[in-house]
Structure 1
Amino acid sequence: MKLIHTADWQLGKPYGRFEPEVRAALTEARFDAIDAIGKEAVRHGADHVLVAGDVFDTEGPDDRTIVQAISRMERHACRWWLLPGNHDFARNGGLWDRVRHRAGSSITVLAEAQPHEIEPGIWLLPAPLTHRHNLDDPTELFDSMKTPGSRIRIGLAHGSIRDFGTQGETKNQIAPDRARRSSLDYLALGDWHGTLNIDPRTWYAGTPETDRFQRDEPGQVLLVDIAEGRDPSVIPTRTGRFQWIRRSWTVNDQAGFDAECDQLLGSIDPASTLLELSLAGITSLTDRVGMLGRLENDVGHRVRYLDVRSGDLVGRPSEDDLASLSVEGMLGVAAAKLSASIETGGPDGLIAKRALERLFVEYSREDRA
């Protein structure tokens, strides 16, 4: 059989660090990812979509988030199996009762650790989380789940096989050999937001729409083909619209910086890219102002979002830079005094150096205006 394995939709994520226009685009893209998943399922003849936890970002999303999620899923001719994760864990009278109340027969909430025969002889074994952090391995129950007449056993869980440290959850630990221990033909996992292969029968799907600066690849789901007596075939398939990329450049002049910019812009879809850029190097003040100006007035208008970190890009005033200030009356007097302090050295010299750089930057901005 073929199925789609996905996880970590985190619908309703607030994206509080961004401006309203960017927040709105990122929020809508997460709903659009549901449609992309449904279309992939139909295109490949996958009758079932397994969502391995964190469908929602919190256990108390607003009604619009729930209705949007359900209506998007119900557009497509496949069955959706939703597992509570650590962000949207199962509790009586909570989120999942609200989902059940609104959802039709094509959507099943797996809030209890009970196996489901989803096709004749094909059993789905869910391990829903009932708390944000569980002390025990949530998949340990797979060993004792009865699946009479089973040809294929599929586990569905949310938790950490590895210690993901600050980049993921460290609770809800899952035995790395769970597929073998519990005689699973496939173990579909969620929690890690990138696609990750643990062994031939154990995979993290990652999120279908990337939501942080951790990795370059866009959001994906897994197309899984399972049959008796062999390892499953697993093919990652792109569903995400936005790409979050992080770059660190060491640059020493405007020409080198422009070459980096041109190469980057030629390799991405700027309107669908969020960019975190760190700059380092020693250059003239003229070039430093020019580099930051291009980022502000060109690159920043092309990409969806730009975060520039330029504290390690040092601009040193050249003789020409200082000469341009010397003809500006009081600016020239201030520049001369700062230059003298720099020559003296010591703590005051360091402060004077930064002040002179700032004076030139502000002067250059006014000159361009």
Structure 2
Amino acid sequence: MKFVHSADWQLGKPFGRFEPDARAALHEARFDAIDTLGRIAIENGAEHVLVAGDVFDTDGPDDRTIVQAVSRMSRHSCRWWLLPGNHDYARSGGLWDRVRSRLGPTINVLTEAEPVEMEDGIWLLPAPLTYRHNLEDPTVAFDAMETPGARLRIGLAHGSIRDFGSRGETKNQIAPDRATRSRLDYLALGDWHGALQVDARTWYSGTPETDRFQRDDPGHVLLVELAESSEPIVKPIRTGRFQWLMRSWTVNDHAAFEAERARLLETIDPPSTLLQLSLAGITSLGDRVAMLQSLEHDFIHRLRFLDIRSDDLVGRPSEDDLAGLAVEGILGVAAARLNEQASAGGTEAVLAKRALERLFVEYSRGEQP
């Protein structure tokens, strides 16, 4: 059989740090990913889509989020199998009862740790989370699940095979050899947001639409093909519209900065790119100002989002910079004193550097025709 393995949709994620236009685009892309998954399933002859937890971002999404999710899934002929994760855990009278009231015949909610026969002899073993953090391995129950006449046993769970530290959940620990212990032909996992192979029969699909600055890879799903007594054939397929990139540039003049900028633009689709950019180096005050102005007046408008971190880009006034500020009167006196304070170090040096840079910017503006 073939099926699509996905997880961590986190529908309804607010993206509160972004401006309204970026927030709306990121929000809608998560719903569009459902249609992408449905098309991938149909085009590849997969009749099932398994979602390994965190379908929703919280256990209390608004009605629109639920209706959009159900309606998007319902317009595709494949069958959908939804597992509660740590963000949308199962509880009586909660989210999943609201979802069930709107379900069509092709959508299945797996709130009980009971095996389900998906097709003749093909059993799905779910491990729904009933709390945000479980103290025990949620997949222990797989060992005792009876699957009469099973040709294939597929586990579906949400949790950590290992401690992912700050880049993933550290609770809901799953035994790394769970597939072997529970005689599984495949263990479909969610929680880690990147596609990751644990062993031949155990995979994380990652999220279909990336949602954080963590890795360069966009979102993926896994197309899985299973046969009795054979290892799974697993094919990652890109689904993500947006790419979240982290870059660190060490630049000591404006020319080096422009070279880095040009190289990046050659390799990305700017409107679909969110960039966290860290700048470091020692340069002239004039070059530092020029770099930041290029980012703030041009580059930021090309990208979907730009987060600039420039504290480690040090601008030291060159002779040309100081000559440009060597004017008579109070402005010249202020520039000279700020330069002395910046050069002296100490607690006042940082403020003096910022003030000198602002003075340079404002004076340069006044010199423009």
TM-score relative to the length of structure 1: 0.97
Task: Tell me: CA distance 1:345–1:25, structure 2 relative to 1, closer, same or farther (3 Å).
Answer: closer
Query: 2:323 corresponds to which residue?
Result: 323
Superimposed CA distance per residue, residues 157-182 of structure 1 (whole angstroms, 9 cap, x where no aligned partner)? 00010101111111110000000000
Aligned pairs, number: 369
SS at match of 1:102: coil
- One-letter identity of the residue aligned with 2:47: D
Alpha-carbon separation, structure 2, partners of 1:74 and 1:50: 15
Query: 1:94 corresponds to which residue?
Result: 94
Task: Tell me: CA distance 1:284–1:72, structure 2 relative to 1, closer, same or farther (3 Å).
Answer: same
**Alpha-carbon contact 1:152-1:185 (below 8 Å) kept:** yes
Of 250-259 and 348-357, deviating more is: 348-357
Alpha-carbon separation, structure 2, partners of 1:345 and 1:121: 75
Superimposed CA distance per residue, residues 281-335 of structure 1 (whole angstroms, 9 cap, x where no aligned partner)? 0001111111011111111010000000001101111111111111264211211
Alpha-carbon separation, structure 1, partners of 2:362 and 2:106: 61
- One-letter identity of the residue aligned with 1:214: Q
Alpha-carbon separation, structure 2, partners of 1:294 and 1:55: 40
Alpha-carbon separation, structure 1, partners of 2:222 and 2:237: 6
**Alpha-carbon contact 1:189-1:204 (below 8 Å) kept:** yes
SS at match of 2:235: strand
SS at match of 2:264: helix
Aligned ranges 1:339-354 → 2 under 5 Å:
339-341=339-341, 352-354=352-354
Shift of 1:348: 5.3
Alpha-carbon separation, structure 2, partners of 1:121 and 1:24: 43
Aligned ranges 1:98-247 → 2 under 5 Å:
98-247=98-247
Of 165-174 and 358-367, deviating more is: 358-367
**Alpha-carbon contact 1:2-1:224 (below 8 Å) kept:** yes
Shift of 1:358: 3.4
Question: Does structure 1 residue 56 correspond to structure 2 residue 56?
Answer: yes
**Alpha-carbon contact 2:244-2:273 (below 8 Å) kept:** yes
Task: Tell me: CA distance 1:337–1:9, structure 2 relative to 1, closer, same or farther (3 Å).
Answer: same
SS at match of 1:264: helix
- One-letter identity of the residue aligned with 2:69: A
**Alpha-carbon contact 1:281-1:312 (below 8 Å) kept:** yes
Query: 1:78 corresponds to which residue?
Result: 78
Alpha-carbon separation, structure 2, partners of 1:185 and 1:368: 70
- One-letter identity of the residue aligned with 1:2: K
Alpha-carbon separation, structure 1, partners of 2:283 and 2:350: 17
Point out where structure 1 has 5 or more consecutive residues left out of the alignment.
none
Task: Tell me: CA distance 1:100–1:245, structure 2 relative to 1, closer, same or farther (3 Å).
Answer: same
Alpha-carbon separation, structure 1, partners of 2:216 and 2:15: 19
**Alpha-carbon contact 2:289-2:357 (below 8 Å) kept:** no
Of 324-333 and 248-257, deviating more is: 324-333
**Alpha-carbon contact 2:189-2:205 (below 8 Å) kept:** yes
Point out where structure 2 has 5 or more consecutive residues left out of the alignment.
none
Query: 2:355 corresponds to which residue?
Result: 355
SS at match of 2:133: coil
Query: 1:21 corresponds to which residue?
Result: 21
Task: Tell me: CA distance 1:348–1:174, structure 2 relative to 1, closer, same or farther (3 Å).
Answer: closer
Identity of aligned residues (%): 73
Task: Tell me: CA distance 1:232–1:343, structure 2 relative to 1, closer, same or farther (3 Å).
Answer: closer
SS at match of 2:90: coil
Shift of 1:153: 0.3
TM-score relative to the length of structure 2: 0.97
Query: 1:5 corresponds to which residue?
Result: 5
Alpha-carbon separation, structure 2, partners of 1:184 and 1:345: 64
**Alpha-carbon contact 2:12-2:61 (below 8 Å) kept:** yes
Query: 1:47 corresponds to which residue?
Result: 47
Runs of 4 or more consecutive aligned structure 1 residues displaced over 6 Å after TM superposition:
none
Task: Tell me: CA distance 1:365–1:26, structure 2 relative to 1, closer, same or farther (3 Å).
Answer: farther
**Alpha-carbon contact 1:137-1:172 (below 8 Å) kept:** yes
Task: Tell me: CA distance 1:344–1:241, structure 2 relative to 1, closer, same or farther (3 Å).
Answer: closer
Superimposed CA distance per residue, residues 163-208 of structure 1 (whole angstroms, 9 cap, x where no aligned partner)? 0111111111000000000000000000000111000000000000
Alpha-carbon separation, structure 2, partners of 1:120 and 1:197: 28
SS at match of 2:314: strand
Alpha-carbon separation, structure 1, partners of 2:124 and 2:269: 39
Alpha-carbon separation, structure 1, partners of 2:266 and 2:250: 19
SS at match of 1:56: coil
SS at match of 2:193: coil
Query: 1:253 corresponds to which residue?
Result: 253
Alpha-carbon separation, structure 2, partners of 1:275 and 1:346: 33
